[in-house]
A and B are shown apart, each in its own frame.
Chain A
Amino acid sequence: GAGVSQSPSNKVTEKGKDVELRCDPISGHTALYWYRQRLGQGLEFLIYFQGNSAPDKSGLPSDRFSAERTGESVSTLTIQRTQQEDSAVYLCASSPRDANQPQHFGDGTRLSIL
């Protein structure tokens, strides 16, 4: 498809397990963003990639959270030793290289920690 693709759509896991969330941006989009949306809240910025490097990781809530991007394409967000407060929808967005072009969002991954 032509849009941002995220997988899985839903993930349920036990507290303490590690999870990996995947984002496939729109082809040719060099900028990629991860956001977290807790129930009933707006989106919180987590991390921004330009190409394969991450100039801004300031939104990652703890060292249990990490992300990488390869080939200026797919990105994975990993949460280690999950906690119940990690339950949220994790949204990925991408945009072209040109500054301040609108971000295009995927449908998100709903993560539920039991």
Chain B
Amino acid sequence: AQTVTQSQPEMSVQEAETVTLSCTYDTSESNYYLFWYKQPPSRQMILVIRQEAYKQQNATENRFSVNFQKAAKSFSLKISDSQLGDTAMYFCAFESGGSNYKLTFGKGTLLTVNP
């Protein structure tokens, strides 16, 4: 079974600065997908970024980018130019590449952006 570990329960950053959230995972599969989801107080899970394991290039979405280290099974999220609206819980998630299937989530990191 896959496991996802987020070792930082809480983090804070000043507005406009850069912050990196850590995620490691454990799997024996070679083909899989990794995700970062954001959950603000409204409860809705919002997809931030997605990475296919077979792609060596790190995914980017505007101010969000990942550092995907497949051999180390590490998948960190970098948020540049942090904004107050980035304050939320951030969850790292793993999905097997075998089928359209369930997500395995980490326990989350609460990010607070301070003015």
**Chain A interface residues toward B at CB < 8 A:** 31, 33, 35, 41-45, 48, 50, 56, 59, 89, 91, 93, 95, 97-108, 110
- Determine the chain A residues whose CB is within 8 A of the CB of B100 once the complex forms: 31, 50, 95, 97-101
- Interface flags for B51-69 (1: CB within 8 Å of A; 0: not) read 0000000000000000000
Cβ of B75 < 8 Å from any Cβ of A? no
Q: Interface size for chain B: under 10, 10 to 19, 20 to 34, or 35 or more residues?
A: 20 to 34
**Chain B interface residues toward A at CB < 8 A:** 4, 33, 35, 37, 42-47, 50, 91, 95, 97, 99-108
A48 engages B102 (CB within 8 Å): yes
- Determine the chain B residues whose CB is within 8 A of the CB of A44 once the complex forms: 105
A45 engages B104 (CB within 8 Å): yes
27 CB contacts below 8 A, A to B, read A33-B102, A33-B103, A42-B106, A42-B107, A43-B45, A44-B105, A45-B102, A45-B104, A56-B101, A56-B102, A91-B43, A91-B45, A93-B45, A97-B100, A99-B97, A99-B100, A100-B95, A100-B97, A100-B100, A101-B100, A102-B47, A103-B47, A104-B47, A107-B42, A107-B43, A107-B44, A108-B44
